[in-house]
Structure 1
Amino acid sequence: MDSVFIVGVGMTKIGRFYEQSARELFSQALWKAIEDAGGVKPKALVVGNMMSSVLMNQDSLGALLADYAGLRGIPAFKVEAACGSGGAALYAGYAMIKAGITDVVAVGGIEKQTEATTPYVTRALAQAADADFEVFYGVSFTGLNAMIARLYMQLFGYSEEDLSHWPLKMHEYASYNPYAQLPRKTSMKEILESPIIADPIRLFHAAPLGDGAAAVLLVRGEERAREIAKSTGRDTLVELAGIGMATDSVDLASRNNILVMESTVKATQEALKMAGLSLKDIDYAEIHDAFHITGYAALEDIGFAPKGEAPKLFKEGRFQKGDKPEVNFSGGLKARGHPVGATGIYQVVESVMQLRGDFPGFKASNPATALTHNIGGVSTIAVVSVLKRWR
């Protein structure tokens, strides 16, 4: 069966864009991807988005965005999987090509969060939790992650400062990234003095609210991919070699262990098996870190670190420049930004550019393989993709 290649990528800077609509942002990212692929237009469009119904009063999002981008008539639809919507959209686009439905699919993500008040957006984000057994009792999404962080700190003996090395490093990476929402370095003092939003999570431990869009263009077959690469002057192909998706209970109380993201474990295993690789083969990774605790848990549940040891290893310099894998040189969700439904696509765009050697920010050490990890809710949904560079 023919392989699936990513031949074009595009993204917008993440920020607060009151003057631009969601359709404008998405069209910018999509046409950047089309131009990056030498002008090849998609025959179908899959859009990752979580909150258009609530924050934009807009359904029929796929058709709306296809029409605005000048692609009226093609199949187009929205995929919703909370913060994992981008990854889920990629899963759907990959399946369409593998099923033979079409041979060129655009997969994008979009979220507009900054035109509503913070409490309203917080309530919308909480819909990723269980409405009857969690949200009804007033818990926020940050609150759920705070409970996990508190248990993790108590069980493994970590302090607030120990866990704060994650945002410290993410801000450093983001300072090189022209697409980042928070492109500035910070200090441990600033992190530890930032306001508490759900004890023990402080403001600088969490990803910001922002607007942004990203897109990739998928095609079937090496021959087609090489034709496109040649037309753009590139000699590097990037294959979407494996993709896995899994779920867990929505409410934390039903989990086997709230410190283990079982959906991440399963999705990682699926993606690696499909790609014919092991974790030791992965050179670079973009992982989901909506909170500092999420980043550490991802390192452990993907399998890059033993349970309970990720903060210690990270503080010692693991997963940074020269290590294997190198992780989140974009700045991650924490500092690059987290436009929810687009996040999983940003991760893929950034990883493709790292493999091609043209990422405009902090560069990885010539990786040949990459892994992306995108979750929805508290890893209620997880999507993991594995990318391979071809010469």
Structure 2
Amino acid sequence: MRDVYVIGAGQTPFGSFPDRSYRDLFAEAYGATRDSVDSGIETDEIDEAVVATLGVGGRQLGLSGPAVTEHVGLHNVPCSRIENACGAGGFAVRQGVQAIKSGMADVVLAGGFEVMTDLSGDVTKYWLGVSGETEWERLTGTTFSGVYAQMASAYMEKHDATKEDLSRVAVKNHGNGAKNPKAHLGFECSLEDAVSAPAVADPLNLYHCCPTSDGAAAVLLASEDVVDEYTDERVRVAGTGAASERVGLAQRDSYTEISASSEAADRAYERAGIDPDDLDFAEVHDCFAIAELIAYEDLGFCDRGEAPRLLREGVTDPDGDLPVNTSGGLKSKGHPIGATGTGQVVEAFDQLTGRAGDRQLENPRYGLTHNVGGSGGAAAVHVFENEEVAQ
């Protein structure tokens, strides 16, 4: 099968934009993505589009994919909408990769968008619950912060982790997000701030939870047959993996790991021909602070129970051995559901092509993105390679 390359990637700022529409946001991300292609690209050169979204403002709009692609001039281009809760963007990229590897397309647009701040907080928390287990979680009043709080409690008890360990995730990611002009919460916080914030769902507090955001992000993928027409910067999709898991916590064997993430990562590493030790950075799904800790272990960055040590020792800091969430992650950059996974790929593309500005790492070769749906019902993992560094 043919190799697939990222030839462009772009996004809007993530935040609260009451005066903007979902079409407007997608058009900005699409324009930024086209502008990032070195040799330029015309709309009629795109063979297919895949668009990720949970819905629009809770309204579950039908034909939301074509509604945004026709708005940017992609008429008569086949467009599929992907809905896999918070993991939709990662799966949109995966479907774009599959279309190219199959030979059915040479250039694919994988994008995502969400408008989330036009509803009240009370409505939003129950709307987001559609991504969890309906009968035993959502309809009994459990919110996503409540679900992840259960995971955090189980993890802290099993591994003697503390609220300070959770808070170090916030401190690190806010520090990174403060250097990202596209971040929703682009400010730094101290460990004291993060530890003492108001409770949301014990043991999680305000600084342990990501914001709900508006935004859009997109990625252009091209086959090895045409990539040289667009760019000399060869960012290869070295490996991709995906998996599903039981949607509800009560149905799982463990509250302290997400098997879909582990399985997806194993497949991505195998296809890329690398191990976790080969990675130079990662963007992981930190919707709640505990999710980042669990991700370290699911993705093979450390053994079970060792995630707090990585944070305490600075391993995942920007100057550490494995920087994680240089964009600010969901915690600081924001979480417009359909755009989150594609937004992670934007950061990976920027890092691997030297476009990350104040967040730029030194000469990275391999980067990973990890996008989770719900509390772990689905996960998509991608490994990207700068082939020039490999040489």
| Post-superposition CA distance 1:312-355 (Å, at most 9, x none) | 22111112234332211111100011111110001111011101
Aligned to 1:154: 157
Task: Please tell me whether residue 90 in structure 1 is matched to residue 93 in structure 2.
Answer: yes
| Post-superposition CA distance 1:263-303 (Å, at most 9, x none) | 01100011111112121211111111001100000001100
* Amino acid across the alignment from 1:351: A
Which residues in structure 2 correspond to 1:103-114 (within 5 Å)? Answer: 103-114=106-117
Aligned to 1:35: 35
* Amino acid across the alignment from 1:383: A
Match of 1:274 among 271, 276, 279: 271
Q: Supply the distance in 1 between the matched residues of 2:103 and 2:127 (Cα, whole angstroms).
A: 36
Aligned to 1:126: 129
Which residues in structure 2 correspond to 1:141-290 (within 5 Å)? Answer: 141-221=144-224, 223-229=225-231, 235-290=232-287
CA contact (8 A) 2:172 2:317 kept: no
* Amino acid across the alignment from 2:155: Y
Q: Supply the distance in 1 between the matched residues of 2:145 and 2:174 (Cα, whole angstroms).
A: 20
Aligned to 1:232: none
CA contact (8 A) 1:16 1:211 kept: yes
Aligned to 2:49: 45
- 1:327 alignment partner, SS class: coil
1:43 Cα deviation from its structure 2 partner:
1.7
Aligned to 2:379: 382
Q: Supply the distance in 2 between the matched residues of 1:193 and 1:324 (Cα, whole angstroms).
A: 29
CA contact (8 A) 1:238 1:355 kept: yes
TM-score by structure 2 length? 0.96
Distance 1:199 1:126, change over 3 A: same
* Amino acid across the alignment from 1:225: V
CA contact (8 A) 1:149 1:293 kept: yes
1:40 Cα deviation from its structure 2 partner:
3.8
* Amino acid across the alignment from 1:224: V
Superposition RMSD in Å: 1.2
Identity of aligned residues (%): 36
Aligned to 2:9: 9
Distance 1:323 1:193, change over 3 A: closer
Q: Supply the distance in 2 between the matched residues of 1:354 and 1:156 (Cα, whole angstroms).
A: 33
Q: Supply the distance in 2 between the matched residues of 1:207 and 1:48 (Cα, whole angstroms).
A: 19
Aligned to 1:297: 294
Structure 2 residues without counterparts, runs of 5 or longer: none
Structure 1 residues without counterparts, runs of 5 or longer: 230-234
Distance 1:5 1:40, change over 3 A: farther
* Amino acid across the alignment from 2:253: N
Q: Supply the distance in 1 between the matched residues of 2:171 and 2:36 (Cα, whole angstroms).
A: 33
Match of 2:354 among 353, 357, 366: 357
1:227 Cα deviation from its structure 2 partner:
2.2
1:306 Cα deviation from its structure 2 partner:
1.2
TM-score by structure 1 length? 0.96
| Post-superposition CA distance 1:364-390 (Å, at most 9, x none) | 221111110000011110100010112
- 2:371 alignment partner, SS class: strand
* Amino acid across the alignment from 1:39: I
* Amino acid across the alignment from 2:24: E
Aligned to 2:22: 22
CA contact (8 A) 2:10 2:30 kept: yes
